[in-house]
Structure 1
Amino acid sequence: MKTPTARLVAMLVFGCLIPVVAAGQDATAPRTAWGAPDLGGVWDFRTITPLERPAALKDKAVLTAEEAAAFTQQSLEGRNADRRDGGARRDIERAYNDFWWDYGNSLTGDNRTSLIVDPPDGRVPGMTAEAQERAKAKRATGRRPVRSRVVIGSPAYGPEDVGLSERCMLGFNSGPPMLPSAYNNNVQLFQTPDHVVILNEMIHEARVVPLDGRAPLPDGIRQWMGDSRGRWDGDTLVVESRNYTDKTGSFYTIIGSFGSGETLHLVERFTRIDAETLLYEFIVDDPKTFTQPFTAAIPMKHSDAPLFEYACHEGNYGMTNLLTGARAVEVEAEAGR
């Protein structure tokens, strides 16, 4: 895994941000009573910085102040504009606009054009030939298991055909790895000398990460959020996770997935930059899915607000309607024979 190179790229890119976020603040990162960096509290990871660099920006990794202001304005105007394109089906599948959604309203402090910092083009690497063949075979034989968090525009013959977050199995921004999205972009960290708990607001997914050097789970035990083990690398908490179930993808965008989680090795790094900033980095390493590892860096801001309840299935009539509609289509097809 190209961890040293990816780490160096992330440090160089994020280094430009540190003076910005520290200006006017106490630059001293707090520590726990036992001397470790204090990562505890609620952290907000909203940003309008895209995961991948837009193709039109090519090799431009950072925007000027003027370009950043124009990008932000265009993004906010686009998200708040009413949508009436795409026909009746698209009209009922999506929100009219993003007024009630909570993407945030600013880029990362260094005006990066993508959250991905390695490869240098700011894009998710290509899939391996093996992964492409597996995806092709899966499409030919049916979509199950559905590894995407959200599925749009496909029939639901049973609950297994609906996205994982629609079934309240996994959140679509809580990962792992965590990615900014439309809402619930908050995570709370708890620490003891030998454990860290990562609690996401979305679906209240919690990972209890041992720091005591215990052995990982046997390879045959697979979990939705993997098996995580943590350690300190200087003042950075490093969490490595493996043993994901094959029912999850190796990596997710909001409405898509790549590969199978069974071959994923995920490395997450948490660094307290100052009193108000936690740098979250992740490295996706899956040689069976991607042609190379890739790294993203997301600065999180400290929040004084609590996490709120995420009642995923409360009042959720969407799946009932989807399955009822599928049964109606089957009845019509049978009657037309």
Structure 2
Amino acid sequence: MRVFLTLAALAFATATAPSLPAWAADAPYKAPRNGFGQPDLEGVWTNASLTSLERGPQFKTLTITEAQAQQAEAMRARMMAAQNRPSDPDAGAPVAGNDPGGYNSFWVDPGTRMGRIKGEVRTSWLVEPADGKLPYRPEGWKLYQDTLTKVRNTFDGPEARPLGERCILGFGSTAGPPMMNVLYNNHYQVQQSADAVVIVVEMNHDARVIRLADSRRLPDGEPEWMGKSVGRWEGDTLVVETTGFNPGESLRPYFGASLFLSPDAKVTERFTRIANDQILYQFEVDDPKVYKSVWKAEMPLNATKGPVYEYACHEGNYSLPGILAGARKAESEGRKPEAVGISE
């Protein structure tokens, strides 16, 4: 009888135990191969997450418990629900000079969960430095701040405005490299051929072409948007080195999480499929003009359903003509555009 009860207890425990995540259940995971014999990275992936590049002040460590993560996620859900309440029809028009605000949370899709890598909840993508903060040099920080101030206060023409407003690249560093999660449109479609990998970025429908080569030498020529990328396979990992960034994309503004890379920066990325539904995306930035040290980060790219629809950004929209027209109006009245809240 005792043996029967013991076996029954073991059977019950096995049946009710939580299933192991894919990375643990399938370890050691072996990525499937495509027709070229390469690890298959094709598909639609997303980096949407409540985790961001730098660690917020509420977190003191790189990882937190699942219970802490669920608490943070629930708090964010309540905040989003509050922001999505119907507008007050009796509120009236904004007072002159005040920001009327943007769209409510119905229109944004930053993600609902913190990032998880191999079962660990991450509070930042940065893993080096250990404090989860970008290691700016004093002169690098000044360069970043001066450039940001200039962008925020220059309305002479479209060339002075950020790339997102001009529909050249998505705002923030969504196009990359490195590829960062932003307010919405965090999907990436990967396509492979024998000699190239193409990453189609949902935001602004950028197509980044990574040339595969045995040599680490990057192609010559003029700087390019998203830089010049050359990749190679190291076992199951796609290693991509990128240099030759266009100076116009040094500032990558995104609310409180802007990023600055000089034209001389070198970004090294590693894409490793660690489960059927996840790619481990690791990257490091070597930019001694701006940063005191090479900084390193890693994030999950999670499988999601496609297709990726066109991001309908175009220069014929209202925002850029409206911004410039507002600046001309302010100038005609003897006011500075920044004094009336015209900004990105």
Band of TM-score, shorter chain: 0.7 to 0.9
The one-letter amino acid of 1:161's match is A
Q: Give structure 2 stretches of 5+ with no counterpart.
A: 1-19, 88-93, 336-344
The equivalent of 1:272 in structure 2 is 273
Contact 1:42/1:187, CA 8 A, preserved across alignment: yes
Rg larger in 1 or in 2? 2
Equivalent residue of 1:213, what SS?
coil
The one-letter amino acid of 1:106's match is R
Please report how far the alpha carbon of residue 180 of structure 1 lies from its aligned counterpart in structure 2 after TM superposition. 1.1
In structure 2, relative to structure 1, the CA distance for the partners of 1:289 and 1:20 (3 Å cut) is: same
Equivalent residue of 1:99, what SS?
helix
The equivalent of 1:321 in structure 2 is 322
CA distance in 2, matches of 1:180, 1:207: 16
1:42 paired residue among 17, 20, 44: 44
The one-letter amino acid of 1:130's match is E
Contact 1:250/1:264, CA 8 A, preserved across alignment: no
Equivalent residue of 2:273, what SS?
strand
The one-letter amino acid of 1:103's match is P
In structure 2, relative to structure 1, the CA distance for the partners of 1:54 and 1:176 (3 Å cut) is: same
Count the aligned residue pairs.
301
In structure 2, relative to structure 1, the CA distance for the partners of 1:134 and 1:115 (3 Å cut) is: closer
CA distance in 2, matches of 1:176, 1:304: 23
The equivalent of 1:222 in structure 2 is 223
CA distance in 2, matches of 1:25, 1:137: 49
Alpha-carbon RMSD across the aligned residues, in angstroms, is 2.8
CA distance in 2, matches of 1:118, 1:134: 22
Q: Give structure 1 stretches of 5+ with no counterpart.
A: 1-18
The one-letter amino acid of 2:168's match is M
2:100 paired residue among 66, 89, 92: 92
The equivalent of 1:163 in structure 2 is 162
Please report how far the alpha carbon of residue 318 of structure 1 lies from its aligned counterpart in structure 2 after TM superposition. 0.9
Please report how far the alpha carbon of residue 209 of structure 1 lies from its aligned counterpart in structure 2 after TM superposition. 1.3
Contact 1:249/1:257, CA 8 A, preserved across alignment: no
Deviation track 1:8-41 (CA, whole Å, cap 9, x = no partner) reads xxxxxxxxxxx63436679542111232110111
In structure 2, relative to structure 1, the CA distance for the partners of 1:67 and 1:308 (3 Å cut) is: same
The one-letter amino acid of 2:102's match is R
1:113 paired residue among 123, 126, 133: 123
CA distance in 2, matches of 1:327, 1:92: 20
The equivalent of 1:181 in structure 2 is 182
1:128 paired residue among 131, 137, 144: 137
Please report how far the alpha carbon of residue 80 of structure 1 lies from its aligned counterpart in structure 2 after TM superposition. 3.2
Contact 1:21/1:277, CA 8 A, preserved across alignment: no
Equivalent residue of 1:330, what SS?
helix
CA distance in 1, matches of 2:181, 2:147: 28
Equivalent residue of 1:56, what SS?
coil
Please report how far the alpha carbon of residue 273 of structure 1 lies from its aligned counterpart in structure 2 after TM superposition. 0.8
Please report how far the alpha carbon of residue 63 of structure 1 lies from its aligned counterpart in structure 2 after TM superposition. 1.3
Contact 2:261/2:287, CA 8 A, preserved across alignment: no
The one-letter amino acid of 1:226's match is G
Equivalent residue of 1:111, what SS?
strand
Deviation track 1:237-292 (CA, whole Å, cap 9, x = no partner) reads 01100011211217665566454531110111110112111111111110110111
CA distance in 2, matches of 1:243, 1:269: 19
1:1-337 matched pairs, under 5 angstroms:
20-22=21-23, 27-58=29-60, 60-82=61-83, 91-95=99-103, 97-109=104-116, 110-125=120-135, 127-135=136-144, 143=150, 146=151, 154=153, 156-172=155-171, 173-213=174-214, 215-218=217-220, 221-249=222-250, 253-254=254-255, 257-313=258-314, 316-333=317-334
Task: Give the % identical residues.
Answer: 38
CA distance in 1, matches of 2:208, 2:64: 35
Equivalent residue of 1:72, what SS?
helix
The equivalent of 1:10 in structure 2 is none
The one-letter amino acid of 1:51's match is L
Name the stretch that deviates more: 197-206 or 308-317. Answer: 308-317
Contact 2:167/2:315, CA 8 A, preserved across alignment: no
Contact 1:30/1:274, CA 8 A, preserved across alignment: no
Contact 1:156/1:326, CA 8 A, preserved across alignment: yes
CA distance in 1, matches of 2:126, 2:145: 27
CA distance in 2, matches of 1:324, 1:250: 24
CA distance in 1, matches of 2:279, 2:309: 21
Equivalent residue of 1:284, what SS?
strand
Equivalent residue of 2:324, what SS?
helix
Equivalent residue of 1:163, what SS?
coil
